[in-house]
Amino acid sequence: MGRALCSPNVSMTLKGERNMLNKKTVDDLKDLQGKKVLVRCDFNVPLKEGVIQNYNRIDGAIPTIKKLLDQGAKVILCSHLGKPKGEPVPEMSLAPVAPALSERLGVEVKFVDDPKVTGPETQKVAAELKDGEVLLLQNTRYRIEETKYGKDDNAESYAKELADLCDGIFVNDAFGTAHRAHCSNVGVTKYTNTNVVGYLMEKEIKFLGQAVENPVRPFVAILGGAKVSDKINVINNLLDKVDTLIIGGGMAYTFEKAQGEEIGNSLCEEDKLDYALEMIKKAEEKGVKLLLPVDHVEGKEFSNDTERKVVDVIDAGWSGFDIGPKTIALYKAALEGAKTVVWNGPMGVFEFSNFAEGTLEVCRAVADLQDATTVIGGGDSVNAVKRLGFADKMTHISTGGGASLEFLEGKELPGVAAADNK
């Protein structure tokens, strides 16, 4: 079972020693009675015919909102949902989120279906909020300016309109958008006096940051997924930090081909072959174990029911869709005794049950680690861990796919950087 990190401060380094993150959190807010507080949440939930399919993101926001309500604040919530591209698209309305929040908070969450998000009616409801009341704004991306911050004068006005709804206090609890500088997470901070991170954001920074920058060793990173190009900077950054780097998924075949292996019709990025060799060389120079598959489960067609077999070398006309049993054993052995594990990306086409074994077994090995910090970094690896039923065995599951990747690359996240330092 993964153990919690015990550091009380959210403090670590990004980009080497360049930028220490030690941000103010909701716990640093005082005297909130009667104050209007704007909170950027991540309510980008999956909807089907207006019905929410997964409540994880809503549940994740509740502790921060409750903390503010307990202090007598008037809480104004904002979020995007999907990509409406500046149009009031009905199927991307945040309306279904309001009753879900009401149920969980035990207070009515007001909602204004305002295509302008910050229009006169929204301003009126915000101004009339009483202590302990909650207002949810319409989808921030109904305004084209939301994603244009820093590139458009109108975006500046929109950021100010959002800030004007509150009493100068802003809480950013949306890690999923922290890698983007938008009006509702970065622009707004220019017009508010106090900018802090919420509990969800704090948790993300703490676990991802401490895992990568101050790991208990041995530190093992597992990278999978389809493309090397998605993970170029991650591989490069992690090779400076880890003891072992395990590579699986479609991206492994680019590494295999770079070393002269036959890969049949497997996924391969021809323009990344030199890069793969560079990374293998860098690992050698750094004394990092870089592990690649030694056998494969190959298939004829991209389908669950296709003919399949286990091979050491992929046959011409076939494609590798999962790591084989020898590789599973190799990767599990490499994980034994690990004290910090960061995992991003599946080992194969885990959506197909016949090609899910590699991901399942690696997942099980990570879940079974004793006294280790295990961090699952967004996207498909999160889906895999949840689908396979191991979510409660991991120390931390990141809520942000793109944000966690950029974090692992060592990039500064604008949404985090915009919060006040302690």
Burial of 175 (0-12, 13-18, 19+ CB in 10 A): buried
User: From the CB of residue 351, how many other CB atoms can be counted at a distance below 10 Å?
Assistant: 14
Does residue 346 have a cis peptide bond before it, meaning omega lies within 30 degrees of 0?
no
Question: What is the pLDDT, as a whole number, of residue 149?
Answer: 96
Alpha-helical (H) ranges within 146-242 are 153-164, 199-213, 232-238
Q: Check 160, 190, 227, 289 and give the catalytic one.
A: 227
Q: Return the C-alpha torsion angle 242, 247, 249, 252, nearest 10.
A: 140
pTM of the model: 0.82
Residue 18 falls in the annotated catalytic set = no
Q: Check 36, 57, 74, 110 and give the catalytic one.
A: 57
| CA–CA distance, 43 with 235 (Å, rounded to integer) | 30
Residue 401 falls in the annotated catalytic set = no
DSSP one-letter string for 322-386:
EE-HHHHHHHHHHHTT-SEEEEES-SS-TTSGGG-HHHHHHHHHHHT-SSBEEEE-STHHHHHHH
Sign of dihedral through CA atoms 296, 383, 335, 236?
A: positive
Q: Which residues pair with 246 in a beta bridge?
A: 222, 291
The candidate with the shortest Cα–Cα distance to 349, out of 245, 270, 249, is 249
Q: Which CATH architecture has domain 26-197?
A: 3-Layer(aba) Sandwich (3.40)
Q: Check 82, 86, 168, 402 and give the catalytic one.
A: 402
Mapped onto helix, strand or coil, the DSSP state of residue 207 is: helix
Residue 15 falls in the annotated catalytic set = no
- On whether the CB atoms of residues 171 and 196 are closer than 8 A, the answer is yes
Q: Check 209, 224, 377, 379 and give the catalytic one.
A: 379
Which segments of 8-70 are extended strands (E)? Answer: 11-14, 19-22, 36-40, 47-48, 51-52
**Domain residue ranges in the chain:** 26-197, 205-408
DSSP one-letter string for 73-132:
-EEEEE---S--TTS--GGG-STTHHHHHHHHHTS-EEE---TTSSSHHHHHHHHTPPTT
Residue 402 falls in the annotated catalytic set = yes
Question: What is the pLDDT, as a whole number, of residue 8?
Answer: 33
The candidate with the shortest Cα–Cα distance to 20, out of 230, 261, 210, is 210
| CA–CA distance, 56 with 47 (Å, rounded to integer) | 13
pLDDT in tens, 303-329: 999 999 999 999 999 999 999 999 999
- On whether the CB atoms of residues 166 and 174 are closer than 8 A, the answer is no
Question: What is the pLDDT, as a whole number, of residue 121?
Answer: 98
Point out the residues of the chain with pLDDT beneath 70.
1-21, 378-379
Q: What superfamily would CATH give domain 205-408?
A: Phosphoglycerate kinase, N-terminal domain (3.40.50.1260)
Question: What is the pLDDT, as a whole number, of residue 6?
Answer: 34
Question: What is the pLDDT, as a whole number, of residue 279?
Answer: 96
Mapped onto helix, strand or coil, the DSSP state of residue 305 is: coil
| CA–CA distance, 382 with 260 (Å, rounded to integer) | 33
- Give CA 182 to chain center in angstroms: 17
Judge whether 26-197 and 205-408 match in fold. yes
Question: What is the pLDDT, as a whole number, of residue 21?
Answer: 63
Question: What is the pLDDT, as a whole number, of residue 2?
Answer: 39
